[in-house]
Structure 1
Amino acid sequence: MTGRGVPSTETTISTADWDGRDIDGESFERVLFSDVDFTEARDTGGTFTGCVFRGCRFNVSEHTEAAFLNCAFVRCSFFDATFTGCKLVGGSFDGCSFELLKVRGGDWSFTALAGARLSRATFAETRMREADLSGATCEKATFHKVDLSGAWLRGANLRQADLRGSTLPPEHLLTADLKGAVIDLAQAVVVAGALGLDVRP
């Protein structure tokens, strides 16, 4: 994490088995979820505000139009989890695993993902403005049409990542490892400009 404080919570749900549970429009505020199993849960329109998730399993869960606002995730697993049109604004992730994570649409702006292992994760048409991806391992990850304006990419490993259509922050491109990354022609101009090159027709 990047020094962002963990929200203070008022109630605790511990070691609960929510495997396959339907979370339809439920709302939680300042709740600590400790070792809760959300495997294969179906979350449509659920709202979590200022919650903390410690050691929780979100494996193969599906979240649609849900909101996790200013939440903290510590040592959680997101194997093959899907987030569609969800808001995770201001969220922080510490020691989490994201293998085969799929994110479609939604707003992940201001998320703290420093040092996260996002290899082979997929983000498509997602807003990630000013997200902190410094030092993150994003090798072979996919960022299609993702708004990374103002995002921190310092020291990020983006080797062989597919970045086509995404808005890239030129101020951090020189510090990221982009070897083998796939970009489009418009992005090539941005990269060239970051290198101080004079691009002409």
Structure 2
Amino acid sequence: MSEAVQEEQRFFRDDWYGEEITGRHYVRCEFHETDFSEAVTRNSVFTDCVFGNVRFNASRHTDSAFTGCTFRRCNFFDAEFTGCKLVGATFTECELRPLRVTGGDWSFTGLAGADLRAVTFQGVRMREADLTGADCAGAVFADVDLSGAALHAVKLPKAELRGSDLSALDPLNAELAGAIVSPEQAAVLVTSLGLRVRA
């Protein structure tokens, strides 16, 4: 049974280290310099919340939602998100490595300029996400829906991209050296270059 919704509360330097956060709902709350290290969230909802200088190190999030949330200078070292919804969330000056995301919906997320080297996104919906200028070298985007995503100047050298929707990717405005794609994806990229493939 979920707890009552907490609205417009401000948490400052709270210690939530290792806490089990289940079935909670926070709306327009602010979390500043709070320690969520090794915390676990399940079926919890954070709506339009602000997280500033929050530590999410080694935290685990399952079937939770962080919709419309703002993350500024937060640390997600070794964090995992499974089946979570982060639609419209924005990340600014955050430490996101290493991060593992499995399933869920990260559409419309703001990750422009983010350092996403060697992070893993698997089976995630990232429609219209903003990855402009993001450094995704060696990252895994496996079976990810990137349709409509902003991918200008994105860096994807040696990234694993098989199974993902790359229809929004302009090969002339991205770094792709050594990236791994399937034959079907290669055809999409070649077509976007204006070439015609014939047997």
Q: Which residue does the alignment assign to 1:200?
A: 198
Q: Aligned residue for 1:165?
A: 163
The CA distance in 1 between the partners of 2:125 and 2:17, in whole Å, is: 29
Q: Which residue of 2 aligns with 1:68?
A: 66
Give the letter aligned to residue 183 of structure 1.
V
Question: TM-score, structure 2 length as denominator?
Answer: 0.95
**Alignment of 1:113 onto 2:107:** no
Aligned to 1:46: 44
> What is the CA distance between 1:194 and its match in structure 2?
1.1
RMSD after superposition = 1.0
* Alpha-carbon distance between aligned partners in 1 of 2:26 and 2:109, rounded to the nearest angstrom: 20
Question: 1-side partners of 2:169 and 2:18: how far apart?
Answer: 43
Structure 2 distance, partners of 1:198, 1:18, is 56
CA distance in 2, matches of 1:39, 1:11: 20
Q: Aligned in 2, Cα 1:84/1:137: closer, same or farther, shift over 3 Å?
A: same
User: How many Å separate the matches in 2 of 1:141 and 1:190?
Assistant: 20
Which sections of structure 1, spanning at least 5 residues, go unmatched? 1-8
How much does 1:171 deviate?
5.2
Amino acid at match of 2:121: F
Cα distance in structure 2, aligned partners of 1:171 and 1:79:
28
Q: Which residue matches 1:90?
A: 88
* 1:41-72 deviations in Å (ceiling 9; x for gaps): 01001100010000001111000000001000
Deviation at 1:174, TM superposition (A): 2.2
Q: Do the aligned partners of 1:153 and 1:173 also contact (CA within 8 Å) in 2?
A: no
Q: Number of residues paired by the alignment?
A: 193
Q: 1:79 aligns with which of 77, 97, 120?
A: 77
TM-score scaled by length of structure 1: 0.94
Distance 2:197 2:89 in 1: 38
